Amino acid sequence: MTKRILIVDDEPNIVVSLEFLMKREGFEVAVAMDGEAALKSVEEKTPDLVLLDIMLPKKNGFEVCQTIRANPELQAVKIVMLTAKGRDTEVAKGTALGADAYMTKPFSTKDLIAQVRQILGES
């Protein structure tokens, strides 16, 4: 069964690259450009994993993460946070809010794929 991955980022070029990478790895990919669209997409069809940017319009990554974690039906959803702000406090905040992993932009595509696979228990 193909795992479903939701990509949430407001930078079109990053979305293009992530979409290409994840599809190439054989995942089913959905895309959201802002926080609200992300939550809508999660509700419509629950993904197995969310690649979540933090600096997002409308609702930021932390809020999206919090909302997903607050929903008991979505406990299985894995969350990997992506951010360009590499501060320790943000890493800690993300982890505290229930993110499963945290990656700093720019990231190595290999590392990202490895991380995703590991979290999905496929490695």
The residue (of 72 and 106) whose beta carbon lies closer to other proteins is 106
Which of 11, 28 has the CB closer to other proteins? 11
Interface of this chain with other proteins, residues 38 to 77, rule: CB under 8 A: 55, 57-58
Number of residues counted as binding other proteins (CB under 8 A)? 27
| Closest alpha carbon to 94 in 55, 51, 65 | 65
* Euclidean distance between CA atoms 76 and 91, whole angstroms: 21
- Collect all residues with Cβ–Cβ distance below 8 Å to 43 and sequence separation of at least 6: none
The footprint of other proteins (CB under 8 A) covers 10-14, 16-18, 20-21, 24, 33-34, 55, 57-58, 84-87, 104-110
